[in-house]
């Protein structure tokens, strides 16, 4: 499927939400749409799914079967779960018996059995979201479009999302998924599309062969916000650490602490280091420490302290830690870097 010079605004003479978006997604590919709140991720997904029509440009080669999971399932409909899903199966082109079989399969798989005869408005947000996932999968989609699919789901259901994505990809489908919380770390091989200022840019692949690790210092009070911002920009957080406990020299991954998917869960009260892998670098403008990965011609590690950064452009880069940052405040800085090629 291809978005060909797509522009979108919601009303005549209104502001453009998207301008001249060109993007292609092929069979067996997944693209994660990243960006801050309100930049137009949902708009882009709705254009891809065919829910919205471009104001200018066109969307071509959209697969015949599209599974669309909106950010909020429209639960204000007077149907039971079973009746709604059966009807959606028919809408998707399944015969009655085939729809029934598909509904039985997905109801069981998503743990919806006891809600089969419950009316949609009576469902909790998370359960309604599962109904939204189920309806999109009743007929194997050639394109699955998921808008923030993890929102509101319990732990078990969250695990199902990457599974469902994997099944669509294995069946030759394509998947677009938006995410501002970093859950996509569970989607290896995903392409990263970043939306900002009305345009879409694709980040370099994060398959591990073209990324580097950067350590950034951030103010402790701004840690959660920094993590959220970095994730929104498409970077992968590897770890968060107190800069008073530096990692072993030359082995920054050794002391990795799993980073919570929810930026709100980041302990904001303590100074911290965030390790991130991704496709671009953001320099920390203030003291503190963050690690992130950036694309490079070769694997590498970059350590950054305060507002200064040095990038390793060659393999075999070493981070040396636990020394006072050049020109920094000894009480707040604890990392400096040595780069070798």
Ligand X SMILES: Nc1ncnc2c1ncn2[C@@H]1O[C@H](COP(=O)(O)OP(=O)(O)OP(=O)(O)O)[C@@H](O)[C@H]1O
Which residue ranges make up the site for ligand X (CB under 6 A)?
Answer: 10, 17, 35, 37-43, 71, 180
Closer to ligand X by Cβ: residue 21 or 102: 21
In whole angstroms, the minimum distance from the beta carbon of 40 to ligand X comes to 4
Closer to ligand X by Cβ: residue 37 or 209: 37
In whole angstroms, the minimum distance from the beta carbon of 126 to ligand X comes to 18
Contacts of 167 (CB under 8 A, 6+ apart): 140
Q: Which residues pair with 213 in a beta bridge?
A: 293, 301
Q: What's the gap between Cα 171 and its chain centre?
A: 22
Contacts of 155 (CB under 8 A, 6+ apart): none
In whole angstroms, the minimum distance from the beta carbon of 203 to ligand X comes to 16
The answer to whether 234 and 280 are in contact (CB under 8 A) is yes
Closer to ligand X by Cβ: residue 71 or 320: 71
Closer to ligand X by Cβ: residue 184 or 333: 184
Burial class of residue 341, CB neighbours in 10 A (0-12, 13-18, 19+): exposed
In whole angstroms, the minimum distance from the beta carbon of 2 to ligand X comes to 20
In whole angstroms, the minimum distance from the beta carbon of 66 to ligand X comes to 18
Closer to ligand X by Cβ: residue 41 or 243: 41
Give dist(CA 179, CA 32) in Å, integer.
Answer: 7
Closer to ligand X by Cβ: residue 43 or 127: 43
Q: Which of 149, 189, 140, 131 is nearest to 168 (CA)?
A: 140
Closer to ligand X by Cβ: residue 38 or 74: 38
In whole angstroms, the minimum distance from the beta carbon of 9 to ligand X comes to 8
48-56, Cβ contacts within 8 angstroms, sequence gap of 24 or more: 48/1, 48/3, 48/143, 48/145, 48/176, 49/143, 49/145, 52/8, 54/3, 54/6, 54/7, 54/8, 55/7, 55/8, 55/9, 55/16, 56/5, 56/6, 56/7
In whole angstroms, the minimum distance from the beta carbon of 302 to ligand X comes to 29
Helix axes 96-109, 125-137, angle to 10 degrees: 140
């Amino acid at each position: 499927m291809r978005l060909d010079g797509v522009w979108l605004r919601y009303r005549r003479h209104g502001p453009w939400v998207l301008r001249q978006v060109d993007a292609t997604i092929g069979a067996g590919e997944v693209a994660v749409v990243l960006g801050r709140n309100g930049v137009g991720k949902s708009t882009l997904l709705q254009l891809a799914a065919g829910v919205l029509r471009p104001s200018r440009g066109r969307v071509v080669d959209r697969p015949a079967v599209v599974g669309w999971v909106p950010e909020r399932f429209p639960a204000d409909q007077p149907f039971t779960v079973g009746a709604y899903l059966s009807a959606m199966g028919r809408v998707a082109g399944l015969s009655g018996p085939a729809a029934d079989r598909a509904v039985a399969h997905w109801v069981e798989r998503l743990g919806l059995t006891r809600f089969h005869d419950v009316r949609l408005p009576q469902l909790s947000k998370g359960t309604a979201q599962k109904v939204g996932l189920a309806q999109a999968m009743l007929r194997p989609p050639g394109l699955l479009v998921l808008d923030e699919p993890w929102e509101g789901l319990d732990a078990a259901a969250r695990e199902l999302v990457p599974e469902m994505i994997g099944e669509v990809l294995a069946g030759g489908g394509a998947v677009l998924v938006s995410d501002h919380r970093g859950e996509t770390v569970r989607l290896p091989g995903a392409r990263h599309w970043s939306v900002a200022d009305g345009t879409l840019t694709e980040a370099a692949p994060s398959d591990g062969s073209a990324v580097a690790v950067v350590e950034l210092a951030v103010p402790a009070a701004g840690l959660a916000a920094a993590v959220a911002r970095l994730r929104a920009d498409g970077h992968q957080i590897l770890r968060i650490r107190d800069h008073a406990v530096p990692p072993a020299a030359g082995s920054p991954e050794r002391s990795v602490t799993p980073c919570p998917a929810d930026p709100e869960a980041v302990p904001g009260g303590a100074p911290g280091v965030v390790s991130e892998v991704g496709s671009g670098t953001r320099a920390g403008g203030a003291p503190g420490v963050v690690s992130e990965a950036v694309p490079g011609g070769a694997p590498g590690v970059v350590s950054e302290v305060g507002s200064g950064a040095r990038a390793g452009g060659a393999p075999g880069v070493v981070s040396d830690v636990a020394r006072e940052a050049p020109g920094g405040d000894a009480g707040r800085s604890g990392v400096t870097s040595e780069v070798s090629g």
